[in-house]
A and B are shown apart, each in its own frame.
Chain A
């Protein structure tokens, strides 16, 4: 090849994201909107660009249409490169066999040929469902300093949540001594963020061995990492401090959006130093009308607001008509909230219309759960969608 790449990133974007329910009916989880202007995948892709990683394989499998179109040639993330750049890697049919991606490790295994083209020293494994800003170049530096076989990004989590994560124990030099995927009785609160840097030669051998093991579930957390640990390989933890959120559930997705609000937001997307890039349509500025009242909210380009918006995240080209009230909610792009409709504690997906006077979601109570309305829906005038409901007419109506 023309030139080799020191580090290639592989972004696992194939999961269905079934815990996002109606929001992932037609789009893969990484293509779900986030924070008024972005989609979830913007975060890992922008982190790559901001860390000087210019070769990224995106492994897709579930509902890839919107995701593929969104990534396109990678130009918004500066990943339209003559050599390297972003590549969509779907499962494929081979001469001998054809396989869907069986697990995270198998997805990388099936693309070893792609990695070999760039002769990388290191491979960075990323997930497509996390919201955070991170310097992968710093992590790579630590990986090299430790002469590690694998470096895992580690986050301190509240002990009561630890059983949701891959939990590890480390010695005083951050060398990992134990790793348990979603343990019932967690031994520490040091959680894996699902971000790994492997030395490629070691990884390749383990992936080949794993593929030949009929009993393996072909998963990094369940199979590859424990096997490496058992073999005495050098696994090191890399401590990450800063905002990180797994947005795999409706509640966590809503919370992460709310974390963008306030005078000192929990997650600062206004920092211009490490921008999060997005594919932009030619949106106009937003127009705020005579009857508008907006407090503690963020709003994307091309929106037209003439109603009341409080504690909410409003995406691009959303229209909120006179008298409508949107409170503690997340409204995805191109959705229309008609006159006098009320939306509270809800996530409304793209291209949906909330009819005049309709009432969606709970009144002033988060504890009743977040109401979700799927994309391309039309909520009739004066209809009532109760708190915590999932409105999805194409898949069995309200639940």
Chain B
């Protein structure tokens, strides 16, 4: 096998404190039945990668519960398979902060692998990308590093710094810069999917951290070596969503009501997105159900009005309820005659009868896990 996958499951935890206070960004629920890490894992598995290491840091119980042995992704293997890589630190109080420190923590894992290249991916994004094409391009171009980028016009509210690259006519990366996003600026944005020759990666990590313990992956490990190494750009032109704030989380869930987005993400041949199987019953629509334009997972019982919403597994919507423009996560209960608009309910929320809750699309009303309203 040519490639080992490395998934960074905690690196963006601070972006959405509402959802990641109790879990890692990788285990944030998305799209009715998925967790964000499903996309990175499925992309790797669908590209023929059979060894995947998941770098964790904190609050990763829900992540481990979700990925389990890895059987849903066919990652239970004698050779390779799934590796959970908890934080490694010489000093107990000092967990990693930067991407490079996170990678340094798994350097033993990287050294023991035999694969030629490592494929890195974050879990704060939603896309269905054929990584085997990136890997093939990497070898065809004889590259040392491949940088997957996406041409995008920034909205200014990305919520984190973005790295932009410049490429020459042959697609080689010639410049990389990091800045706060500015509205309406069009860039070739780094999307934190990298293919790097494994042995080179180990050396580059050591080299960069020996100069500066807070060295930056994009600017130092990649940026300072652009002249000496062959860094290939690879443009990804499919649907891509960065989940960088609660508003973005809401927006990108709602985009799933768009057929093109669904087809691009979920309905590509031989590129399914896998997730944990729960053996829920089918969803039951009762006599009071009036459902339009909604994405609804298994095991729900719907007896009220549901429109323009994303409903996770095991949710129940009582008779006379009106649920519009909402995201209701797993096992939430909306009792009879409640009225919800632009609400994000985390897992196991109970909304009692007759309650009236409303947010707006840019500032959805958020209800935390297990809360009873």
> Which A residues fall within an 8 A CB radius of B?
35-37, 75-76, 261, 263, 269-270, 275-278, 280-282, 284-290, 292-301, 309, 313
CB distance from A102 to the nearest CB of B (A): 37
Q: Is the CB of A287 within 8 A of B291?
A: no
> Residue B62 at the A interface, CB < 8 A?
no
- Is B293's CB within 8 Å of the partner chain A? yes
Q: Could you jot down 9 A-B contacts, CB within 8 Å?
A: A270-B284, A270-B299, A285-B32, A285-B297, A287-B296, A288-B292, A296-B285, A299-B283, A301-B282
Distance of B331 from chain A, by nearest CB (Å):
10
Question: Given A75-B71, A270-B301, A288-B293, does the pair A298, B283 have CB atoms closer than 8 Å?
Answer: yes
State the CA gap A350–B36 with chains docked (Å). Answer: 32
CB-based contact B31/A288 at 8 Å = no
Interface residues of B in 311-334 (CB under 8 A from A): 311
**Residue B9 CB within 8 A of the other chain:** no
Q: Of B71, B277, B285, which is within 8 A of A295 by CB? A: B285
Stretch of B192-200, B232-240, B266-274 lying at the A interface: B266-274
CA gap between A297 and B282 in the complex, in Å: 10
Whether the Cβ atoms of B282 and A37 lie closer than 8 Å is yes
B123 interfacial by beta-carbon distance below 8 Å = no
Chain B, Cβ-Cβ closest to A300: B282
B285 close to A294 (CB less than 8 A): yes
User: Which B-chain residue is minimally distant from A281 (CB atoms)?
Assistant: B272
- On whether the beta carbons of A299 and B279 are closer than 8 Å, the reply is no
A301 with B298: in contact, given A75-B71, A294-B291, A296-B286 (CB under 8 Å)? yes
Contact A299 B71 (CB under 8 A): no
B:249-290 near A, CB below 8 Å: 257, 259, 262, 266-267, 272-275, 277, 279, 281-287, 289-290
Q: B278 → chain A, closest Cβ, in Å? A: 9
Q: If A37-B282, A75-B71 touch, does A285 touch B33 (CB 8 Å cutoff)? A: yes
Chain B residues whose CB sits within 8 angstroms of the CB of A295 once the complex forms: 285-287, 289
B296 touches A292 (CB 8 A): no
Nearest CB to that of B316 among chain A residues?
A: A270
Q: Is the CB of B282 within 8 A of A298?
A: yes
Q: B320-354, CB under 8 A of A: which get 1 and which 0?
A: 00000000000000000000000000000000000
**Cα–Cα, bound, A278→B292 (Å):** 28
Contacts of B267 in A (CB 8 A): 284
Q: Distance (Å) between the CB of A315 and the closest chain B CB?
A: 8
CB nearest neighbor in A for B297: A285
Q: Mark B1-44, 1 if CB is under 8 A from A, else 0.
A: 00000000000000000000000000000011100000000000
CA distance A292 to B295 in the complex (A): 13
- Nearest residue, chain A, Cβ from B285: A294
Q: B358 within 8 Å of A by Cβ?
A: no
Contact of A296 among B266, B287, B292 (CB under 8 A): B287
Kindly provide the distance from the CB of B299 to the nearest chain A CB, expressed in whole angstroms.
8
Besides the contacts A37-B281, A76-B277, A297-B284, what 14 more A-B pairs have beta carbons closer than 8 Å? A263-B287, A269-B281, A280-B277, A284-B262, A284-B273, A285-B33, A285-B295, A285-B310, A288-B291, A288-B294, A289-B293, A292-B291, A295-B286, A298-B281
Is A298 within 8 A of B297, CB to CB? no
Known contacts: A270-B301, A294-B291. The answer to whether A286 contacts B279 by CB under 8 A is: no
A263 to B282: give the CA distance in the assembly, Å.
14
Q: Is the CB of B286 within 8 A of A263?
A: yes
Choose from A281, A284, A286 the contact partner of B283 (Cβ within 8 Å). Answer: A286
Name the CB-closest residue of A to B259. Answer: A287
Asked whether A290 and B292 contact (CB < 8 A) given A270-B281, A275-B279, A296-B287, the answer is yes
Cβ contact of A35, chosen from B273, B282, B303, cutoff 8 A: B282
B282 touches A299 (CB 8 A): yes
In the A-B complex, the 8 residue pairs with the smallest Cβ-Cβ separation, listed nearest first, are A285-B32, A36-B282, A282-B272, A285-B297, A298-B282, A294-B285, A284-B266, A288-B291
Give the chain B neighbours of A284 by CB distance below 8 A: 31-33, 262, 266-267, 273, 295
Nearest B residue to A276, CB-CB: B279
Q: Are A285 and B31 in contact (CB under 8 A)?
A: yes
Distance, CA A286 to CA B291, complexed state (A): 12
> Knowing A75-B71, A277-B279, A278-B279 touch, does A286 contact B296 (C-beta < 8 A)?
yes
A282 to B294, CA, bound (A): 19
Centre residue among A75, A277, A282, A295 by max chain B CB count within 10 A? A282
Q: Whose C-beta in chain B lies nearest to the C-beta of A269? A: B281
How far, in Å, is A256 (CB) from chain B's closest CB? Answer: 14
Q: Which residues of A contact B311 (CB under 8 A)?
A: 285
**A280 vs B294: C-alpha distance in the bound complex, in angstroms?**
22
A298 engages B285 (CB within 8 Å): yes
| Residues on B with beta carbons closer than 8 Å to the beta carbon of A288 | 291-296, 306
